[in-house]
Structure 1
Amino acid sequence: MKKLGFLLIAAALMLPLAAGGKGESAQGTHKIGVSMYNLTSEYLTSLKTHMEKYVAEKPEYSSVKLVFLDAQSDPVKQNSQVDNLITQKVNSIVMIPFDREQQVPAVEAAAKAGVPLIELCASTVSDKKRSYVGSDDIQSGLMLAQEMFKTTKPNAKIIVLHGPTGQNAQVMRYAGLKEVMKNYPNAKIVAEKVCDWDRSRALDAIQNIIQSGMEFDAVFAENDEMAMGALLACEGAGVKGKFIGGVDAIPDALLAVEAGRLNCTVFQNSVAQARTAVDVAVKLANGESIEKLYDIPYELVTKANVAKYK
């Protein structure tokens, strides 16, 4: 009897561990790791803010703890950080990948360890992610290019400002531009500059192009930071009448569109992306079923409708 009593006590003590599984106890804190490729980006900073605010304001998420990591645009560092989150036994991982191919090992490591990982805002080519929450980047490129050709001439000379080479947004937004250009065979890309989503690098690039005397009609910037850099360069040099557009609808860009300084931007819904990512990550932590894709559509923003987005 004494032996039986000891076994029953031991079994009772083990029950909370069994209930929790990997990571924190299912009845305790849900720890969600969030790997962001660079928190100096205004858009990614807004995603972080909206995720934190959503968790803080929603009573059901009082047990949710978000652990944010900044990879500082280093793909090797981001893979290492995901490995670290796996070692910490987080309940789920949200990753905004720096590179669509170089971050595949991180996705595969999480899958192998049994830690559910979703991708937010940017995606990898891996099929081992549990879900993608975000927008279809090729659509933003299509929208921006279509608006560009409404404003410029069919044989427009175009400058393209690229994000980091290999990032999904960079690849797919450029693909959207090239798709639209099939309808304008006389249009030409006269310069392409990799500015890594950075305003100051875009400003320098366009200043150098203006000083070189190169003719151009439009600047297709793959994000708003670079579009604002191009705008400042043109305004500083007194260059007028050029189409300039970007993607993300950051506050500076919205103000510039409203003032008629920037032709357009493409709205990427950071609030919906952030909240959906948290919801999906919590569902995974609870062992609930989820969808493979949560598509949050892009929306074109011009002076005619910009008030809706401010």
Structure 2
Amino acid sequence: MRKILIATVASITVLGAAMTAQAAESIALVVSTLNNPFFVTLKDGAEARAEALGYDLTVLDSQNDPAKELANVEDLLNQDVAVLLINPTDSDAVRSAVRTANRRDVPVITLDRAASGGTVVSHIASDNVAGGKMAGEVIIEALGGSGAVVELQGVPGTSAARDRGEGFHQAVDAASGIRIVASQPADFDRTKGLNVMENILQAQPEIDAVFAHNDEMALGAIKAIQASGRDIIVVGFDGTDDGVAAVEDGSMLATIAQQAAKIGAMGVETAAKVASGEDVPAFTPVPLQAVTK
């Protein structure tokens, strides 16, 4: 009998065969959205690893909606899944989903974004604090230790936005010549990154650099900067294909590269271990690197 993995990537998209295995063999993965290249890559990595391990992988898309995410989790729990993996739409909002799984005695593993409540047996993610600090250090070096900097934040309430911001400020707040002239959320979205950056450009006559909490916002900010005709360096985060291409063509100074496919693959591997009764680490960090031209 084939073992089944059910993945919820926050709308419901079904990939693979229907669930036919016994409850003890079923694993569920909950991810936030397929409307972001990073999470598409994460999904691809999970699918590839599931195939290699002999699992059928089903993917559900919650469309960045915590209510849909909770509904997806409840649907999966009604199928008596053995392990639930979640990439939260929001670290606070996902607590209800995690606690629902806890009440059903279903182990929970989080990917990329942590849950701020409930019991989680393992968390697999990049060290976002270290990555944010790396981005800050890249900007400080590029500016020679002095300049006006804008921070485009991710979705408020997510651990990724919080941790990337924390690491970034560890670096820039210690640099006496660096001034943060604006720090606003753009929700990890390219269009919002464009719109927010346009407003900041109008309000701030002096900007030397931008740190965006992900490549999507960075790419939106670059479009706004190019339209303004101003010379401003931009550093992104995630190392998506579009982000790396922007570094290579010189429109972005750097991106802090995560290994999205590896996070997805490690999630599947960890879920399989939990399902078979093996011990797993409480936290598995995935290495980061600064990609520059």
Query: TM-score range, shorter-chain basis?
Result: 0.7 to 0.9
TM-score, L = length of structure 1 = 0.83
Q: Please state if 1:275 is matched with 2:262.
A: no
How far is 1:148 from its partner?
0.6
2:14 alignment partner in structure 1: none
Q: Distance in 1 between matches of 2:218 and 2:255?
A: 9
What do the CA deviations read for 1:83-107 (whole angstroms, capped 9, x no partner)? 2211111121110012222211211
Q: Distance in 2 between matches of 1:213 and 1:108?
A: 44
Q: Is the 8 A contact 1:31 1:66 kept in 2?
A: no
SS in 1 for 2:238: coil
Q: Please state if 1:192 is matched with 2:183.
A: yes
2:31 alignment partner in structure 1: 36
Q: Report how many aligned residue pairs link the two structures.
A: 274
Segments of 4+ moved more than 6 angstroms: none
Gaps of 5+ in 2: 1-19
Paired-residue identity, %: 30
1:116 alignment partner in structure 2: 107
User: Higher strand share goes to which structure?
Assistant: 2
Q: Please state if 1:25 is matched with 2:22.
A: yes
Q: Distance in 2 between matches of 1:210 and 1:289?
A: 51
How far is 1:52 from its partner?
1.2
SS in 1 for 2:149: strand
Going from structure 1 to structure 2, the CA distance change for 1:213 and 1:180 (only over 3 Å counts) comes to: closer
Q: Distance in 1 between matches of 2:97 and 2:86?
A: 9
SS in 1 for 2:237: coil
TM-score, L = length of structure 2 = 0.88
SS in 2 for 1:247: strand
Going from structure 1 to structure 2, the CA distance change for 1:154 and 1:100 (only over 3 Å counts) comes to: same
2:129 alignment partner in structure 1: 138
Q: Is the 8 A contact 1:24 1:91 kept in 2?
A: no
Pick aligned residue for 2:254 from 264, 286, 299 = 264
Q: Distance in 1 between matches of 2:273 and 2:258?
A: 24
Pick aligned residue for 2:237 from 239, 247, 251 = 247
Q: Distance in 2 between matches of 1:287 and 1:85?
A: 20
In the TM superposition, 1:179-218 aligns within 5 A as 179-212=170-203, 214-218=205-209
1:95 alignment partner in structure 2: 86
Q: Is the 8 A contact 2:43 2:261 kept in 1?
A: no
Q: Is the 8 A contact 1:133 1:296 kept in 2?
A: yes
User: For the aligned residues, what is the CA RMSD?
Assistant: 1.8
How far is 1:127 from its partner?
5.9
Larger Rg: 1
Q: Distance in 2 between matches of 1:81 and 1:90?
A: 12
User: Higher helix share goes to which structure?
Assistant: 1
1:161 alignment partner in structure 2: 152
What do the CA deviations read for 1:59-95 (whole angstroms, capped 9, x no partner)? xx32x23232222222232223212211111121110
